[in-house]
Amino acid sequence: MNYRHAYHAGSFADVVKHAVLCRVLVHLREKPAAFRVIDTHAGAGVYDLAAPEAGKTGEWHDGIGRLLDANLDAKTFDAKTRALLAPYLDAIAALNPDKTLATYPGSPALVQALMRSHDRLVASELEPQAAAALAHTLRRDPRAKALALDGWIALTSTIPPNERRGLVLVDPPFEQPGDFSRLVQGLEAAHRKWPTGIYLLWYPIKAAADVTAFTRRIARLGIAKTLRAEVIVSSATDDPRLRGSGLIIVNPPWTLRDELAVLLPALAGVLARDGAGTVALDWLTGESAT
């Protein structure tokens, strides 16, 4: 598997991941105290959808392209869903002032759009080309810092932050077969150092057995308040493409689960490939875990 950001910018997986990320950031903004976001596998920051990488896959057409088309139809989403999507879509619109979708914001750019003047972002990227692009993207923002650092090292070396409030986003490219295990181990080590932080972990849904084993290992960590959120866009288990986008959310804001119960089914309905979009939203530990 290889889910390097530049090739999949604006894909259905990005739409799910980034819509949820923006909801978490909105909640962090509700308290006056500063927060910090630590983005461990940040990528380039922003993406040209006409670039060779995005053009090679064209995944954005069935992701953000489809969502924007749907959002133009007042019958597609109710008012609550539109309000939940607004911070995400507003950030995209700000990067495309001529109203033609040409640039897609990665997670660092979305964080920049929703941070306040006293909040901070630390974004790490190791791949040289993406790291240089990230440094260029963040260079004029005094709130943000780019690190040319392995994201797995950044996961534990950059916490706890001085602000004591904030979010750790872990969105690895899954280039290595052991990345599911590394994600479990990384969360366990990071949570030990900063148990009050919010953690947002992305994972690909392709082989059901891999995902089941992964979520069971996360549950066995016994970390209180661990929420699972998945959107499946294809019911075909033999589909060679990515079938779904999954998120593990540790210490989610207290209203987030209810928001996702509205937002995720709406996204699944728009993004499904074969009319069979489905959602899984449940507590692995804490609240009413089963």
- Kindly list the distances between the CA atom of residue 228 and the CA atoms of 194, 247, 248, 289, in Å, as whole numbers in the listed order: 20, 6, 5, 10
Beta strands at 103-105 and 46-48: parallel, antiparallel or unpaired: antiparallel
pLDDT at 66 over 70: yes
pLDDT (tens digit per residue) in 168-183: 999 998 988 899 999 9
Residues facing residue 120 across a β-bridge: 36
What is the model's pLDDT at position 30?
A: 97
Q: How far apart are CA 257 and CA 229, in angstroms?
A: 9
Question: Tell me, what's the pLDDT at 236?
Answer: 78
Percent of residues, the chain, with pLDDT higher than 70: 98
* Most confident stretch, 23-32, 170-179, 280-289: 23-32
Identify the active-site residue in 171, 239, 258, 274: 171
Question: Is the dihedral angle over the CA atoms 27, 47, 50, 63 positive or is it negative?
Answer: negative
pLDDT at 81: 95
- pLDDT score for 289: 65
Give the C-alpha separation, 103 to 94, whole Å.
Answer: 10
Tell me what pLDDT residue 1 has.
47
pLDDT of residue 290: 55
For residue 21, the model assigns a pLDDT of 98
Cα Rg of the chain, angstroms: 17
Helix (H, G, I), strand (E, B) or coil at 251: coil
Q: Is the pLDDT of residue 2 over 90?
A: no
**pLDDT tens digits along 144-200:** 999 999 999 999 999 999 999 999 999 998 988 899 999 999 999 999 999 999 999
Q: For 254-278, what is each residue's pLDDT tens digit? A: 999 999 999 999 999 999 987 779 9
Task: Let me know if 282 is a catalytic residue.
Answer: no
pLDDT of 240 above 90: no
Closest C-alpha to 211, from 245, 251, 234: 245
Residue given tokens 């392209």 in the structure block: 65
First to last CA, the chain: 30
Question: What are the structural domain ranges in the chain?
Answer: 5-285
Which CATH architecture does the domain made up of 5-285 adopt? 3-Layer(aba) Sandwich (3.40)
CB contact at 8 A, 284 and 218: yes
Pair 82, 95: CB distance under 8 Å: no
